[in-house]
Structures are given as C-alpha cells and as structure tokens.
Amino acid sequence: MIDAEQNIAAMLEALSKEYDIETSPYTIADRSFTFVSVHDSYVLLDRISPEDFVKDEQMPYWAEIWPAAVTLSEFILKELVLAGKKIIEIGAGVGVTSVAAAAMGADVLSTDYSGEALRFIRLNSLKNNVSVSTGQLDWRCIRLKDRFDMLFAADVLYERVNLLPIVHAVDKLVKPEGCAYIADPRRRLAEQFLDLAFESGFSVTSHAKSFSRGKQVIPVNIYRLSKSREKNT
C-alpha cells in the first residue's frame, strides 16, 4: 500500500511539472472513482510541431475526460459481465473506460496513439486500485496479434478518415465470437461508421444513453458490433 501511494505521488509530481493537471472525482453506477486529466487540452496544441501535425493531424483529444467515456463506463458497470474477459480499449485517453472494465474483473489492455496518454492511464489505474496494462496503438496499422473478447472505444468517430480504420481495427482485434462497444455523442459521422460496419459484415445494435453531470446532459449512443449470432455480454 505504501509503495502504491509512493508511486502515485511520484507520478503526480512528474506529470504536474509537465502539465496543468486536475483531479476529478466521479460517481459512476454508484461507484466512486478519481481520475487525473489535463485541465486545458488546448494548451497542448503548442507541443505539436507543424511536421508532426502534417504527418498525423493528431490533436490532444486524449487529455480530456469525455462524456461518452463516462457513459460507456456506466454501461459497463451496470450491464456487462466482464470477470475473466480479455478486453482492449482503443483511443483510451486517460483511461476512464479501461479503469471501469478492470474494476469489473476484466483483463484490460488500454491503448492510445499518444504515448503521453499512457502515463495518465497508468496513474489512473493506480489511483483506482485496479490493474491495467498499457500499450501504444495506431488503429490505422494494427500490428498486435492478440485477439480479445471485447473491444471498447469512446468518442473516436470524430474524423471521417478514422471510420474505416476503426472498423478494420475491430475486425482484427476482436475474436470471431466477440463484440465491440463504441460510444459516441450522436455525431453525424456515426451513421457513416455504421454503414461501413454493415458492409464489413457486422451486425449492430444501439443503446440510447445519456451523460449527466450537474446541469449538463448529453445524449450518447452505444453501438454493439458483432459478427457472431450469439449474444455476448
């Protein structure tokens, strides 16, 4: 316990020297969590060189806690059975959904394109007393050979260029009998994503949910993609 507390303190100190961090308590499905994120992700734009932006057009979206991630986490905690399941999250950001899945007893690999994000995921897993493995992953070029029972992703359907790579990532990373859950705040691009998923042989079911925090209420859809006729939970 002392080692964990020392590790958390050391990680917080290191991150606070590089970022304007904030620590936020969340109650999700009657469970208490604490997550560390970046106070203002737009400040991180200054860290992106013009060369890197031309190469990847990557924005620091990983640094925030997005409503879709919290909504997907609530769905996981309330409606899924994950004990013993092998899970991957893509575009994990600071790891909110990965932490929720690990809290349900899943074996979780939490991934993001940004190496910076992985440091926050490790910290947030420690702060919430769960075990989460981390890895850098570009969904445009999947080199990972492992396949998973379930894949989670929240708020990743924000650029048209990402839609087909995400469908292909689900196809490559999920076991034939497995499924993926993609949470999205009802962006128009989600319809195009679903069309691509259908064309790739996936069946899709939709769960209409919402994120509420204070006076803020945001509709969120959670899409379940599967190629198996059996119902996976």
Instruction: Mention every residue, 6+ apart, whose C-beta is less than 8 A from residue 175.
Output: 147, 148, 149
Instruction: Give the pTM.
Output: 0.91
49 Cβ contact list (under 8 Å, min separation 6):
none
For the chain, state the CA radius of gyration: 17
- CA–CA separation, 106 vs 150, rounded Å? 10
The predicted structure's pLDDT at residue 232? 44
CATH of 2-226, one of 3.40.50.150, 1.10.260.40, 3.40.605.10, 3.30.450.40: 3.40.50.150
Q: For the segment 78-126, what is each residue's pLDDT rounded down to a tens digit?
A: 999 999 999 999 999 999 999 999 999 999 999 999 999 999 999 999 9
For the chain, counts of helices (H) and of strands (E): 7, 9
- Cα–Cα distance for residue pair 37/43, rounded to 1 Å: 13
Cα–Cα distance list, 215 to 34, 67, 71, 165, 218 (Å): 20, 13, 16, 35, 10
CB 228 within 8 A of CB 177: yes
Question: Which secondary structure element, helix H or strand E, spans residue 148, and what is its range?
Answer: strand 148-154
Q: Strands, DSSP E only, in 185-233?
A: 203-213, 216-226
Sketch the domain layout of the chain as residue ranges: 2-226
DSSP structure class, residue 232: P
* Residue whose entry in the numeric block shows the structure tokens 């990402």: 162
Question: Going by DSSP bridges, is the β-strand pair 216-226/203-213 parallel, antiparallel, or unpaired?
Answer: antiparallel
Residue 54: predicted pLDDT: 44
pLDDT surpasses 90 at 131: yes
**Model confidence band, residue 1 (pLDDT cutoffs 50, 70, 90):** low
CA angle 188, 66, 155 (to 5 degrees): 35
